[in-house]
Amino acid sequence: MSVHETDPALARHVPQRHVGRAVVAVVLVIALLWFVQGLAFNQALDWPTIFQYFFDFNVLAGLGRTLLITAVSIVVAVVLGALLATMRLSANPVLRALAWVYVWFFRSVPLLVLLVLTFNLSLLWPTIEIGIPFGGPTFVSMSTQDLINPLVAAIVTFSLQQAAYTSEVLRASIQSVPVGQREAAAALGMTGTRTMMRVVFPQAFRVALPPIANDTINLLKSTSLVAFIAVPDLMYSVQQIYSSNFRIIPLLIVATLWYMVVVSILSIGQYFVERKLRNSPVRAARIAATDDLDGLTAGGPLDAKKETAA
Amino acid sequence: MSAFLELTGITKKYGDTVVVDDVSIAIEKGETVCLLGPSGAGKSTVLRCINMLERIDNGRIVLDGEELGWRLHRGAMRELSGREEARQRQEIGMVFQSFNLFAHLTVLENVIEAPVGVLKRKKAEAIAEAHELLQQVGLDHKADAYPAQLSGGQQQRVAIARALAMHPKLMLFDEPTSALDPELVSDVLDAIKQLATTGITMVIVTHEIGFAREVSDRFVFMEAGRVVETGPSARLSVEAAENERTRGFLSKVL
């Protein structure tokens, strides 16, 4: 027996062996392989059919409509959401209340219910008119049925509902910009609107981007609900195909794969946007500000009138 | 003949709490005046009232013959619109305790933002002048840095350059060194001292009594929202101060 085996100061150090970890890992890998094998050799999966329909014209057209609804809705949601957020932060109590009611309503109603409701809006209001209210003359009158086809109903529904969520993201982002930034802008003689456009929004936008990217991914998948009102999106297109050829699983796999492809692309985009923002000096400044200056900022609260841009 | 900056009986309340109570201060053109006093004395609030960041409840503030923030109309003082207030603020530079540089803009962009956006000056001219101002505060080599990449003392000197770029008639400093690490204080104080020699009118809220004695012509000592004593800055010592409370304060901080 050498001195190296008896002297604790000189003996070799052996870390603890994690037997449990190794066992769990092996079991899970075996289970996964079993599942993949079961899937790959499952006749119902029918890979040839999946390949056949992956680039099918109707499937691609459906995918196009899915992307269209998502893209238009998120753009409208951001613009309308910015307006609602500004209203929520306004000094005017009526604007504040209206924005609150809007957000409350569209967050309360389930998306599917809202979708079907919008689609059937003509039952509630047969015509949509522009004119002087309370019995005044009417300038434009349109049949609701003509105006709201299924695609329009889908876009309107997703836009309006998403605007409610986006307005909350934007409101929090605007409030995250330190009040000192506005005071500094005011002290330089900038008007309220200029302060918002040049100082507050550019900083708030950086905070809002990651959650909005997240919402976009969520929205994309939610659009599959439009199958309920027969908008030929990706989901509805594969439904129509499998209802005639009964190859249900292969066609659902086609839809699944396409959703995964698009979400993956969006996720990669989100990753790069977030990485860029993480390294941004603005973020660093915010962290520095909360570390060093909390509680040191001078003066009392701003009067309510200074809080708002418009 | 009224003074260059004249505060007459200004009062500011938050709810029932009176933070500034009937304060009158007259400051001549080119003078540097320090506002001193314990925390909560209302010094910063007076400064913020001058710049209309706080709305006064009573009294008046007149700068170079122009009523700030209000207009007498049909027997009452009517508040000016945001646009009119913004125009009046163009002539008043302010430096904050927490610097408040625009975090998304570089040092140079911070300095030219208001001259170009508000005063509509030509961008090339504004940039040239910004470089000059940054040189004065010793930071032209940081023109392309972002605020977060600068030390507190450097940020504060950029903030001074940013305020000066508007060619203000009056400069307000709200505890400009209170948020700084001790070793960074002197750079900022030096920049302010240098400014005092240019003859611009300045009002400084500070806790640095030695600096106040050196840089300012007069001091105003406040306590509990009221002016307790005012006099030449040479009198800023425990022996020379006339009011007992001023002496008590000075004996604690000196």
User: Above 50 in pLDDT, residue A299?
Assistant: no
Return the structure tokens found at A87. Answer: 């209203």
**Average pLDDT of chain B to the nearest whole number:** 93
| Residue found by looking up tokens 């970890």 in the block | A21
B154 touches chain A (CB under 8 A): no
Provide the pLDDT for residue A24.
96
A29 lies in some domain: no
Interface with chain A: mutation pick from B53, B94, B156, B206, highest number of A CBs within 10 Å: B53
What would the mean pLDDT of B78-93 be, rounded to a whole number? 94
What would the mean pLDDT of B145-164 be, rounded to a whole number? 95
Q: Residue B190: how many CB atoms within 10 A of its CB?
A: 15
Provide the pLDDT for residue A292.
45
Q: What CATH number has the domain bearing residue A245?
A: 1.10.3720.10
Q: What is the ipTM of this complex?
A: 0.93
Distance from CA of B148 to the nearest CA of A (A): 5
Helix ranges restricted to H, chain A = 3-6, 19-40, 47-54, 57-88, 93-108, 111-119, 121-124, 144-147, 150-176, 179-187, 192-195, 201-222, 234-245, 248-278, 281-292
Give the type of residue at A268: I
Pairing, β B70-73 against β B76-79: antiparallel
pLDDT in tens, B163-199: 999 999 999 999 999 888 888 888 899 999 999 889 8
Give the type of residue at B200: I
Provide the pLDDT for residue A272.
86
Of the pLDDT bands very low, low, confident and very high (cuts 50, 70, 90), residue A126 is confident
User: Above 60 in pLDDT, residue A233?
Assistant: yes
Provide the pLDDT for residue A98.
97
Provide the pLDDT for residue A12.
87
User: Above 90 in pLDDT, residue B63?
Assistant: yes
A176 touches chain B (CB under 8 A): no
**CA distances from residue A170 to A78, A82, A87, A280 in whole angstroms, order as listed:** 9, 6, 11, 19
Of the pLDDT bands very low, low, confident and very high (cuts 50, 70, 90), residue A280 is low
| Cross-chain residue pair A184–B103, CB shorter than 8 Å | no
A282 touches chain B (CB under 8 A): yes
Return the structure tokens found at B9. Answer: 């009986």
B118 vs A83: CA distance, rounded Å:
25
Residues of B whose CB is below 8 A from A186: 51, 53, 86, 89
Of the pLDDT bands very low, low, confident and very high (cuts 50, 70, 90), residue A121 is confident
Residues of B whose CB is below 8 A from A302: 53
Provide the pLDDT for residue A284.
56
User: Above 70 in pLDDT, residue B230?
Assistant: yes
Provide the pLDDT for residue A1.
57
Adjacency order of strands within the sheet including B66-67: B17-27, B5-14, B58-63, B66-67
User: Above 90 in pLDDT, residue B5?
Assistant: yes
Provide the pLDDT for residue A282.
57
The residues, ordered by sequence, that sit 6+ positions from A87 with a Cβ below 8 Å of its Cβ are: A95, A96, A98, A99
| pTM (predicted TM-score) | 0.79
pLDDT in tens, B110-134: 999 999 999 999 999 999 999 999 9
Pairing, β B17-27 against β B218-223: unpaired
Region at B99 (left for phi over 0; alpha for psi -120 to 50; beta for the rest): left
* Segment holding B211, helix H or strand E: helix B209-215
| Cross-chain residue pair A282–B100, CB shorter than 8 Å | no
Q: Which of A3-17, A150-164, B18-32, B117-131 has the lowest mean pLDDT?
A: A3-17
Q: What is the largest CA-CA distance in chain A?
A: 109
Report the alpha-carbon angle B213-B219-B223, nearest 5.
120
Return the structure tokens found at B207. Answer: 């806790």
What would the mean pLDDT of A49-78 be, rounded to a whole number? 94
Q: Which of B1, B2, B53, B5 is nearest to B220 (CA)?
A: B5
| Residue found by looking up tokens 């309920």 in the block | A228
| Cross-chain residue pair B97–A183, CB shorter than 8 Å | no
Distance from CA of B96 to the nearest CA of A (A): 8
Pairing, β B170-174 against β B92-95: parallel
A14 lies in some domain: no
Return the structure tokens found at B47. Answer: 């400064």
Residues of B whose CB is below 8 A from A178: 100
* Percentage of residues in chain A having pLDDT higher than 70: 88
| Residue found by looking up tokens 């909005």 in the block | A212
User: Above 90 in pLDDT, residue A225?
Assistant: yes
User: Above 50 in pLDDT, residue A294?
Assistant: no
What would the mean pLDDT of A74-79 be, rounded to a whole number? 94
Distance, C-alpha A186 to centroid of its chain: 34
Q: Which of A108-117, A136-145, B1-10 has the lowest mean pLDDT?
A: A136-145
Distance, C-alpha A33 to centroid of its chain: 34
Provide the pLDDT for residue B182.
85
- Boundaries of domain holding A215: 48-298
Q: Which of A146, A168, A155 is nearest to A212 (CA)?
A: A168
Q: Which of A69-78, A255-264, A278-287, B101-110 has the lowest mean pLDDT?
A: A278-287
Q: Which of B174, B233, B183 is nearest to B202 (CA)?
A: B174
* Segment holding B79, helix H or strand E: strand B76-79
**Average pLDDT of chain A to the nearest whole number:** 86
Distance, C-alpha B60 to centroid of its chain: 18
| Cross-chain residue pair B53–A178, CB shorter than 8 Å | no
User: Above 60 in pLDDT, residue B236?
Assistant: yes
**CA distances from residue A133 to A123, A138, A139, A145, A166 in whole angstroms, order as listed:** 21, 8, 11, 22, 31
Number of separate domains in chain A: 1
Report the alpha-carbon angle A18-A24-A29, nearest 5.
130
B178 vs B161: CA distance, rounded Å:
19
Q: Are B61 and B9 in contact (CB under 8 A)?
A: no
